[in-house]
Amino acid sequence: MRKILKKNTIDNIVLALYVLIMASASTIAHSDIYFSFFFVFLAIVFLYKKRKVDFFILIILFFWILINILSFEVNEGLSYTYTTFIGVTMKIFISYLMVKIVGESFFIKLLKFIFYLVIISMPFYIIDSLNPTFYSRMAAYLNFMTMPEQKMALGWYIYVYMHSGWASDVLDIGILRNSGFMWEPGAFSMILTFSLLYNFSINGFKWDKISFVFLIALITTFSTSGFLALIVILFAYSVKVGRKSHIYFILFLPVIVYIGLKIYDLDFISGKIDYYARTIDYHRTHTITGIERVNRFGILKYNFEQALSWPFGNGALDSLYLLRKYGVIYRGPNTFAGILYIWGFLGFILFPYFIYMFFRSYFRRSIFIPLSFTVALSFVLFSNPEQLRPIVYSIVFYYLIYLRKGKVRKSTLLNYDY
């Protein structure tokens, strides 16, 4: 019992750090000093638990170093420091340490961890929605670990909840968007979408109490990408049901299509997508940070141009091509654009492939369902910055370590009672 308690304690600490980093809402998560401390701590635990380094991680590390060396030669004249390279390297490979430390039950335990955080955060959101000015007045007392961007906007973060200082009302009807325990609503919708998809993966694509909790929380984010992902999930479910009952499918599919069209027609979805398409080249200076940004479509366009000029990835280095053509621009918010920038076209192809294979491992008799899950997750990743790299890299590492060779035991998948 003492050994089990000790093991679970270590796992819970690792998962708590994982969520803290992924939430990207605190000064701790943005501090290179703290991040270095976390990495060293996890490396010590990794060695203490006598985990073996997988051969594929050495191959990835080799290509990562090669990409940075070649990028340095191509972008000659740009400043480049070893500390920057080491910092980015740690941020990429820290997910590997976490997955290896927790083991094959990593995502099962993470799902439980997120489930309870969602449950805890919902009462905070309800109070926030009823009286947001009250929460704003509490900022001076609760923003001690809040990222500067939110702190300056009277937001605050206490690990289990983020009161956003700038998450706007939806359709001007006074409905506050829910950030949950993440740094903003879109990021919360991303982790909720993944949690919903993973829960479906381990329970055979069935709606249970866990799924409904994630669904309700996802709706409260009023996230464009989250709702688009939900349309894909509902459509995939209708097809899954239709395979068992054609009559039910004929009755059910029109309802799903109608709901999907109505959801897409909402102003914060179709209107927002149309706005992004029209302003793809528009440069906007953030009122709080002063950083010049382009939207989600724009950053993909710019990084695609960069990849055409140098298709092998820029690694941790800035792009001389983009600096000369567009000046200093924030890389986000688009995970796939970030992957294309860092890893080049090879990474841009492989990452979605590994995500698909991750879901395919749970639906071996189906191609359509894992493909639908990949599309749904891609929607929320497309709309969120590469800061959320832990979830993407964890999926890749987990697949390569456990799922690729079928190392996850059925007993592990079944042990997810709440």
CA distance 90 to 321: 26
Q: In sequence order, what are the residues at sequence separation of 6 or more whose Cβ sits closer than 8 angstroms to the Cβ of residue 167?
A: 176, 177, 179, 184, 185
C-alpha distances in Å from residue 404, one per residue of 59, 149, 346, 376: 16, 40, 19, 22
Q: What is the pLDDT of residue 208?
A: 93
CA distance 302 to 283: 12
- Token digits of residue 55: 């051969």
**Per-residue confidence at 153, pLDDT binned at 50, 70, 90?**
confident
How many structural domains are present in the chain?
Answer: 1
* Token pair recorded at residue 183: 């740094």
Please say if the pLDDT value at position 4 is more than 50: no
Identify the three-state secondary structure at position 382. helix
Top pLDDT among 136 and 59 is at 59
Q: What is the C-alpha separation between 219 and 216, in angstroms, rounded? A: 5
Q: What percent of the chain has pLDDT over 90?
A: 49
234-279 pLDDT, tens digit per residue, is: 889 888 877 666 666 666 667 767 776 776 666 667 677 777 777 7
**What's the pLDDT band for 5 if we cut at 50, 70, 90?**
very low
Closest CA to 381 of 226, 266, 271, 231: 226
Going by C-alpha positions, the residue among 328, 269, 340 that lies closest to residue 300 is 340
Q: What is the pTM of this model?
A: 0.90
165 — phi, psi (to 5°)? Answer: -85, -10
**Would you say the C-alpha torsion 335, 341, 342, 347 has a positive or negative sign?**
positive
Determine contact, residues 29/388, Cβ cutoff 8 Å.
no
- Residue 355 scores a pLDDT above 80: yes
d(CA 165, CA 150): 6
Q: What is the span of the domain harbouring residue 199? A: 1-418
